[in-house]
Amino acid sequence: MPIASPDVYAEMLDRAKAGSFAYPAINVTSSQTLNAALQGFTDAGSDGIVQISTGGAEYASGPKIKNMVTGAVALAEYAHEIAKNYPVNIALHTDHCPKDKLDGYVRPLLAISAERVKTGKDPLFGSHMWDGSAVPLEENLSIAAELLAAAAAAKIILEIEVGVVGGEEDGVSNEINEKLYTTPGDGLRTVEVLGSGEKGRYITALTFGNVHGVYKPGAVKLRPEVLKDIQEQVGAKLGKDKPFDLVFHGGSGSTLEEIRAAVDYGVVKMNIDTDTQYSFTRPVVGHMFTNYDGVLKIDGEVGNKKAYDPRAWGRLAEAGMAERVVTACEDLRSTGTSPKA
């Protein structure tokens, strides 16, 4: 199926929230990782989201080019073509974009989609994220309001972050402490500034102890009940059940119980990057160790072309990552929920 149109993407999110499941949002950096994500969603019978961070986009543009917009557009155009061959809906998203990279990433991409929409096409991406976690709340929401207006005009969903995610991702670091918990007051202020859909659709990463990076289960102190409290207090003010469409960041090391509690409280999208990076790389390591005398030209020999052909280990990498995507779908209860599954 083609990449999800704005209407299909909105329906995906509505269906997830109504059905108490969420979509894995898989970070991709290349055609191979994108292929792996698409195959994983297909194997799981789940619609899904693939996303490109600023670092991933820069990497995809070429090692000496380092142009975030070029890399993001290239991967998006590739996805639009390749996704036609898979029987699930896939939404395209750009991941964390801090303030200092807005002018070099999200704003140019919004402009590209606005031009596409003017000519009767769908936007290039279905959603973009503004990561305002490093600035004060009022500045965060002020920038979000400006971006939301531009996104709505281009038929794009905006993702925002209200609160702080600990750890490090793409050069943005935050300490692991009590600041990692969004308050009901933060939630109320968010709807005061951004509305509850009438100014444009947005999805919200509220923080409840989330940490980017690699952690064993139990090391990260998540409090999913924070999400429940915010949904209830803001919902009471708006007269609406679970008013926020929530995003779960920094989920590596989370227990299944924590993940599903968050989904029950309104999470419709969960970012997954660290785990899929490992699942992509681990089979390559195994191949290299097992076939070291074939992938290396040892003692003047010629090696084994079948062993060092990038397709040999590349297929293994894609299969490993696809398997992890299937697991993510199972954890988030999205397995078998695609209308085409």
Phi and psi at 202, nearest 5°, equal: -140, 155
Exposed, middle or buried by CB within 10 Å (0-12, 13-18, 19+), for 135? middle
Is residue 124 within 8 Å of residue 93, measured between CB atoms?
no
- Residue linked to tokens 């979509």: 23
- Which of 95, 245, 275, 331 is the catalytic position? 95
What is the rounded distance in angstroms from the CA atom of residue 195 to the CA atom of residue 84?
35
CA distances from 137 to 39, 129, 131, 144 (A): 39, 16, 11, 10
β-pair partners for 166: 211
- 293 given a catalytic annotation: no
- Quickly count: other Cβ atoms within 10 Å of residue 136's Cβ: 9
What is the rounded distance in angstroms from the CA atom of residue 23 to the CA atom of residue 34?
16
43 phi-psi bin (left φ>0, alpha ψ -120 to 50, beta other): alpha
**Residues annotated as catalytic (active site), given as ranges:** 95
